[in-house]
Amino acid sequence: MSFTVLNVAYPFAAVGPDAVGGAEQVLSQLDAALVRAGHRSIVVAAEGSRVQGTLQAVPAIPGPIADAQRSIAWAEHRRAIRAAVARHAPDVIHLHGVDFAAYLPPPGAAPLLATLHLPPSWYPAEIFSLPREDVHLHCVSHAQHAACPPGARLLPPVPNGVPVQALDCRVHKRRYAIALGRICPEKNLHVALEAGRLANFPVLLGGAVFPYQAHQQYYWEHITPRLDRERLFLGPLDFARKRRLLAGARCLLLPTLAPETSSLVAMEALACGTPVVAYPSGAIPEMVDPGVTGFLVRDAAEMAAAIAACAQLDPERCRAVARERFTLERMVARYFDVYRQLARRTQHDVAADATR
């Protein structure tokens, strides 16, 4: 069964193989997988996005992200979605943005699948009781699913995955730890730099500072004062550089305070043979086996001690766990199953209407 999927990105983040955000990375992988499998992939995303299918671009909104910019972006998204539906007649519309409720297409366009990439509490409460039978929500981990409001109508979780084989980069381990992610308060990445200072160990920090006032303030007040000759900020990393640096690191540092729904970077690190030292936030304990693939810690001092302990962990065991649990192929297969189920349901409804 061939199908057409319209993936809709968060308005303020471009998608592509080098995207920083997890939602954008998942969307990019689904777009590429649809094309490889011979399906049609349509993507509504900001200008500058790189897709394998057909891009329905929306203007990139300049300036800091505030209410005025959101209103403009949502209106552009609504227009782009209407145009894509009219032109391509998708079988499924797959929404990825935390603000997806602001640009829901009208009923009848196609079944709507909304992936909740972020903690449930970060979404408007009304999404969990939308009075529309065509909107289907799902989570990306069992921990996230359990954190949703009681009675919420949810499909079974579809766990995230990463391109494990492409990430299997065999290089010699070097003397540094690495931390990757959005530079913002909830990611708490200044603790990684502080742990490196306490351990007298170099730390490389990669990521993007998005144009939110709180993110930029956090960068200037908490990150820059902790940078020195051995604690370096590299900015955003493309896939090839990220893979090389992850593979060469002693460990990945993940001091997140957010109730993580999943962690693509933790999966990527394990696929590269690199242990993960993380705070036990959200779904992180589902991903790290203490003393085997990393350590769970509570503060900078414990993180510093774990940096040293990671020298004794086996990179091959990390790779094996990634192959067993976190493959992109498993994630894609699950999404394709959901697409088929939703598309068939619509086709059945259309056929039933035709016989009435």
Percent of the chain at pLDDT above 70?
Answer: 97
Nearest to 251 by CA among 196, 178, 187, 316: 178
Mean pLDDT calculated for residue range 202-226: 96
Mean pLDDT calculated for residue range 144-171: 95
pLDDT in tens, 243-289: 999 999 999 999 999 999 999 999 999 999 999 999 999 999 999 99
Cα–Cα distances in Å, from 173 out to 176, 217, 313, 329?
Answer: 9, 34, 12, 28
Task: Let me know whether 135 and 19 are in one domain.
Answer: yes
Helical axes 264-271 vs 239-248, angle rounded to 10°: 60
Q: Is the pTM of this model over 0.75?
A: yes
> What confidence score (pLDDT) does residue 61 get?
85
Task: Let me know whether 24 and 134 are in one domain.
Answer: yes
Task: Let me know whether 234 and 141 are in one domain.
Answer: no
Task: State the average pLDDT for the chain.
Answer: 94
Half-sphere exposure of 91 (CA within 13 A, CB side): 21
Task: Let me know whether 49 and 121 are in one domain.
Answer: yes
The sheet carrying 203-206 orders its strands as: 231-235, 203-206, 177-180, 252-254, 276-278, 294-296
Q: Which long-range contacts (CB under 8 A, 24 or more apart) does 223-230 make?
A: 223/183, 223/189, 223/190, 223/193, 226/190, 226/193, 226/194, 226/197, 227/193, 230/196, 230/201, 230/202, 230/203
Nearest to 140 by CA among 124, 170, 171, 162: 162
* Residue 89 pLDDT exceeds 80: yes
Mean pLDDT calculated for residue range 230-242: 96
* Residue 291 pLDDT exceeds 90: yes
* Residue 356 pLDDT exceeds 60: no
* Residue 352 pLDDT exceeds 90: no
Lowest mean pLDDT among 144-148, 279-283, 342-346: 342-346
The CATH number of residue 281's host domain is: 3.40.50.2000
Two tokens, residue 323: 């192959």
pLDDT in tens, 21-66: 899 999 999 999 999 999 999 999 999 999 999 999 999 888 788 8
Q: With cut-offs at 50, 70 and 90, classify the pLDDT of residue 353.
A: very low
* Residue 349 pLDDT exceeds 60: no
* Residue 319 pLDDT exceeds 80: yes
Strand 252-254 vs strand 276-278: parallel, antiparallel, or unpaired? parallel
Q: With cut-offs at 50, 70 and 90, classify the pLDDT of residue 348.
A: very low
> What confidence score (pLDDT) does residue 53 get?
98
Task: Let me know whether 250 and 110 are in one domain.
Answer: no
Two tokens, residue 279: 């705070």
Task: Let me know whether 339 and 309 are in one domain.
Answer: no
Angle (CA) 93 97 101, round 5° = 75
Task: Provide the domain count of the chain.
Answer: 2
Task: Let me know whether 214 and 136 are in one domain.
Answer: no
Mean pLDDT calculated for residue range 92-112: 96
> What confidence score (pLDDT) does residue 355 get?
37
- Give the separation between CA 43 and CA 204, rounded to whole angstroms: 33
Task: Let me know whether 214 and 118 are in one domain.
Answer: no
pLDDT in tens, 300-311: 999 999 999 999
Task: Let me know whether 151 and 169 are in one domain.
Answer: no
Task: Let me know whether 254 and 320 are in one domain.
Answer: yes
Task: Let me know whether 109 and 169 are in one domain.
Answer: no
Q: Which amino acid is at 74?
A: W
pLDDT in tens, 10-24: 999 999 988 888 999
Q: Please return the burial class of 295, using the count of CB atoms within 10 Å of its CB with bins 0-12, 13-18 and 19+.
A: buried
Alpha-carbon torsion angle 40, 46, 47, 48, nearest 10: -80
Between residues 352 and 124, the one the model is more confident about: 124
Mean pLDDT calculated for residue range 185-207: 98
Chain CA centroid to CA 64, Å: 22
Cα–Cα distances in Å, from 36 out to 29, 31, 71, 115, 330?
Answer: 11, 9, 35, 22, 15
Task: Let me know whether 293 and 344 are in one domain.
Answer: no
- Give the separation between CA 71 and CA 102, rounded to whole angstroms: 9
- Give the separation between CA 308 and CA 281, rounded to whole angstroms: 22
Two tokens, residue 108: 């009848």
Buried/exposed 174-203: b ≥16 CB within 10 Å, e otherwise: eebbbbbbbbbbbbbbbbbbbbbebbebbb
Lowest mean pLDDT among 59-73, 169-183, 336-350: 336-350
> What confidence score (pLDDT) does residue 346 get?
58
* Residue 198 pLDDT exceeds 90: yes
Look up the domain containing 27 and give its range. 4-161+327-355
